[in-house]
């Protein structure tokens, strides 16, 4: 391994300390690893932080999306209008209910689902809209709310984001889904949370994550179909400790993003994340740039790796993935904005403990690779 490779700057890294260790150890020693007190404690703390009435902890963001779509009444044969520029989970979750994800193109600035394109994709079979707050930038929820359809928000990348009207992303009342995989703003290893303003939705989520059992039922009776999408107490203890340090971690991410902006300013033709506008505030999750149109993105990634910098194509367009091409006949040219952005996007190393020196190292490498 070359010196550069051995000192490679990783793409992501969680912040874990003695508080997380103590929280997990306490649960281990209590002997109650599941269905214990840490679950409602984490849910209450999370809902309180966002300013929303209810939250239900689940085993992953994907599980949360599945339950949230069921909660707004998405069924077999329905259509769900969503973005092709997302992690594949948002479209996959529709298929779990045999609903069809109907894609619409994205806004070239925010990279979020464009409400006008979404409106044009609505048909009599549309049962819900599924906007994604991509890269932590708030999707135009007021624009979607005007369409008058049920909404599920994929907020898995957007913890800490705030809408222009001052409401936290995830606190508008629609079921909104967060993810706690290790690269997210808050991690429980694997895990997720669904927020909602509706007590009946909360009750349905809680039942369906636990095999369809109602809260007052014993072991033997289940009054609806359910799943095992529970989050365990070890994970919830980790989540509680992470929530305590969330403000610090979000501020650290925002600071790293600021260093990147300064270090990459003037790099000709390089697309940077859009700045906050109209009062919307990004919850920083990744730092994704678009290489100039005349450059081979994958070659840029290889050259960065040779210089000790990890990076990845992020995100690929969902409709062009082989499964979606084969299952639905999707092809190039359907969503030109998404396809152009997806072909040029590169996620750079980005994590709360990244140093200014590391950001500088990435910027120097990118300048060399782009020859600018």
Sign for the CA dihedral angle at 215, 217, 218, 223 comes to negative
User: Rule CB under 6 A: is residue 62 a binding residue for ligand PLP?
Assistant: yes
Among 271, 243, 225, CA closest to 184 = 243
The CA distance from 151 to 127, in Å, is: 9
CB of 153 to ligand PLP, least distance (A): 10
User: Rule CB under 6 A: is residue 103 a binding residue for ligand PLP?
Assistant: no
Among 217, 294, 240, 221, CA closest to 57 = 240
Cis peptide before 315 (omega within 30 of 0): yes
- Out of 47, 57, 72, 89, the residue judged to bind ligand PLP by CB under 6 A: 89
CB of 93 to ligand PLP, least distance (A): 8
CB of 182 to ligand PLP, least distance (A): 9
CB of 155 to ligand PLP, least distance (A): 9
- Active-site hit among 184, 209, 282, 330: 184
User: Rule CB under 6 A: is residue 361 a binding residue for ligand PLP?
Assistant: no
- Out of 27, 39, 49, 60, the residue judged to bind ligand PLP by CB under 6 A: 60
Among 70, 69, 67, 73, CA closest to 82 = 69
Both tokens of residue 307? 């210089």
CA 48 to chain centre: 20
Among 291, 284, 333, 292, CA closest to 312 = 291
Q: Which residue is nearest to ligand PLP (CB)?
A: 61
Is 312 in the active site?
A: no
User: Rule CB under 6 A: is residue 114 a binding residue for ligand PLP?
Assistant: no
For residues 259 and 350, which CB has a smaller minimum distance to ligand PLP in the complex? 350
CB of 20 to ligand PLP, least distance (A): 18
Query: On the CB side of 87, how many CA atoms lie within 13 Å of its CA?
Result: 19
For residues 348 and 365, which CB has a smaller minimum distance to ligand PLP in the complex? 348
Both tokens of residue 353? 């403990």
The CA distance from 253 to 246, in Å, is: 10
Residues 144-203 that bind ligand PLP (CB under 6 A): 154, 156-157, 179, 181, 192
Residues 118-147 that bind ligand PLP (CB under 6 A): 132
For residues 9 and 68, which CB has a smaller minimum distance to ligand PLP in the complex? 68
Residues 6+ apart with CB under 8 A from 342: 85, 313, 315, 316, 317, 320
Among 211, 209, 242, 238, CA closest to 64 = 209
User: Rule CB under 6 A: is residue 86 a binding residue for ligand PLP?
Assistant: yes
Binding range to ligand PLP, per CB under 6 A, among 36-44, 55-63, 206-214, 262-270: 55-63
Binding range to ligand PLP, per CB under 6 A, among 34-42, 57-65, 135-143, 350-358: 57-65
User: Rule CB under 6 A: is residue 235 a binding residue for ligand PLP?
Assistant: no
The CA distance from 8 to 334, in Å, is: 38
For residues 156 and 201, which CB has a smaller minimum distance to ligand PLP in the complex? 156
Q: Radius of gyration of the chain from Cα atoms?
A: 21
Binding range to ligand PLP, per CB under 6 A, among 16-24, 60-68, 74-82, 208-216: 60-68
Q: Which residues of 231-250 are buried (b: 16+ CB within 10 A; e: fewer)?
A: bbbbbbbbbbbbbebbeebb
Active-site positions?
Answer: 184
Interface contacts to ligand PLP, rule CB under 6 A: 60-62, 86-87, 89-90, 132, 154, 156-157, 179, 181, 192
């Amino acid at each position: 391994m070359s010196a550069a490779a051995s000192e490679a700057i990783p793409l992501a890294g969680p912040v874990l300390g003695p508080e997380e260790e103590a929280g997990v150890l306490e649960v281990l020693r209590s002997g109650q690893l599941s269905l214990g007190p840490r679950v409602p404690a984490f849910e209450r703390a999370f809902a309180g932080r966002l300013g929303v009435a209810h939250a239900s902890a689940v085993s992953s963001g994907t599980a949360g999306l599945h339950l949230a779509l069921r909660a707004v009444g998405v069924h077999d044969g329905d259509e769900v209008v969503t973005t092709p520029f997302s992690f594949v989970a948002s479209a996959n979750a529709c298929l779990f209910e045999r609903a069809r994800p109907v894609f619409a193109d994205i806004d070239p600035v925010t990279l979020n689902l464009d409400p006008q394109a979404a409106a044009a994709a609505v048909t009599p079979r549309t049962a819900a809209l599924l906007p994604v707050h991509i890269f932590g930038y708030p999707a135009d929820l007021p624009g979607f709310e005007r369409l008058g359809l049920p909404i599920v928000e994929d907020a898995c990348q957007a913890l800490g984001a705030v809408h222009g009207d001052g409401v936290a992303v995830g606190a508008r009342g629609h079921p909104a889904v967060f993810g706690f995989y290790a690269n997210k703003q808050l991690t429980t290893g694997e895990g997720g949370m669904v927020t909602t303003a509706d007590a009946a939705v909360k009750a349905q989520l809680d039942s369906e994550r636990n095999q369809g059992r109602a809260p007052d039922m014993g072991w033997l009776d289940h009054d609806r179909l359910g799943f095992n999408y529970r989050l365990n107490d070890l994970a919830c203890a980790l989540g509680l400790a992470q929530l305590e340090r969330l403000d610090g971690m979000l501020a650290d991410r925002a600071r790293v993003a600021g260093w990147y902006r300064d270090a990459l300013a003037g790099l000709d033709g390089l697309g940077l994340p859009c700045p906050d506008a109209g009062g919307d505030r990004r919850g920083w999750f990744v730092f994704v740039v678009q290489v100039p149109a005349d450059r081979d993105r994958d070659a840029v990634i290889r050259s960065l790796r040779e210089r000790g910098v990890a990076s990845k194509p992020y995100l690929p367009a969902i409709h062009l993935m082989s499964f979606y091409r084969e299952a639905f006949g999707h092809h190039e040219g359907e969503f030109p904005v998404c396809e152009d952005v997806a072909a040029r996007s590169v996620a750079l190393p980005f994590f709360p403990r990244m140093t200014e020196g590391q950001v500088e190292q990435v910027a120097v490498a990118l300048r060399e690779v782009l020859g600018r």
